[in-house]
């Protein structure tokens, strides 16, 4: 009997595309460890909670383990959907938590394995929001000398992702 492979799903940010620099680097890291990264396109939806619904629909027939990765609005989407879908892990970059216009501000039913990465110089989503979230959920938190896009930290983030994925059973 073969087991169902772990799904890795990338949730891009508000003004981003599914396959940008971060997701491409993450896909390469994932592939080196035997994973495949999926990157649905949410760019036609401006409302974060419409994106949550789309991701919930994608996950509605999911079988096997699922790890969600998300950046900014995508980090919020990944975390908000974890309330309603079986998610085994969250890997979040500068997640858009506790902002006006987002329906969910209290997160429950989250997996135990959560890593948050945020830039100290983020002027879009305050790093304090990730500190608050990480403290409440006992998440691993990495604050880096970078801004919201975390463009200067791709190597560090791919190393953190590799370490994170190695904490799960091999695919």
144 and 119 in contact (C-beta within 8 Å)?
yes
Q: What is the pLDDT of residue 88?
A: 96
Q: Which helix (H) or strand (E) holds 27?
A: helix 21-32
Looking at residue 171, its pLDDT comes to 77
CATH class of 7-165: alpha beta
For the chain, the 3-state helix, strand and coil shares in percent, each to the nearest 5, are 35, 20, 50
Question: In which residue are the tokens 């990944």 written?
Answer: 78
Separation in Å, CA 40 to CA 10, 12, 127: 7, 8, 26
pLDDT reading at 142 higher than 90: yes
Residue 137: CB atoms within 10 A of its CB come to: 17
Q: Where are the domains of the chain?
A: 7-165
> Strand ranges (DSSP E) for 72-139?
89-93, 113-119
> Do 125 and 94 form a contact (C-beta atoms < 8 A)?
yes
CB 103 within 8 A of CB 131: no
What pLDDT was estimated at residue 1? 42
pLDDT > 90 fraction of the chain, expressed in percent and rounded: 91
**Digit-coded pLDDT (tens) for 105-116:** 999 999 999 999
User: CB-based burial of residue 39 (10 Å sphere; 0-12 exposed, 13-18 middle, 19+ buried)?
Assistant: buried
> pTM value?
0.96
């Amino acid at each position: 009997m073969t087991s169902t492979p772990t799904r890795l799903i990338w949730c891009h940010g508000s003004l981003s595309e599914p396959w940008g620099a971060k997701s491409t680097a993450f896909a390469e890291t994932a592939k080196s460890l035997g994973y495949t990264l999926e990157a649905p396109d949410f760019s036609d939806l401006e409302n974060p909670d419409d994106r949550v619904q789309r991701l919930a629909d994608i996950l509605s027939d999911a079988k096997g383990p699922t790890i969600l990765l998300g950046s900014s609005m995508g980090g919020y989407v990944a975390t908000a959907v974890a309330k309603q879908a079986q998610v085994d892990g969250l890997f979040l970059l500068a997640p858009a938590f506790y902002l006006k216009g987002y329906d969910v501000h209290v997160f429950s039913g989250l997996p135990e394995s959560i890593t948050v990465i945020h830039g100290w110089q983020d002027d879009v989503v305050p790093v304090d929001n990730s500190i608050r979230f990480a403290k409440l959920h006992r998440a691993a938190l990495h604050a880096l000398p970078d801004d919201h896009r975390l463009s200067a930290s791709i190597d560090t983030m791919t190393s953190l992702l590799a370490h994170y994925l190695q904490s799960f059973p091999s695919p």
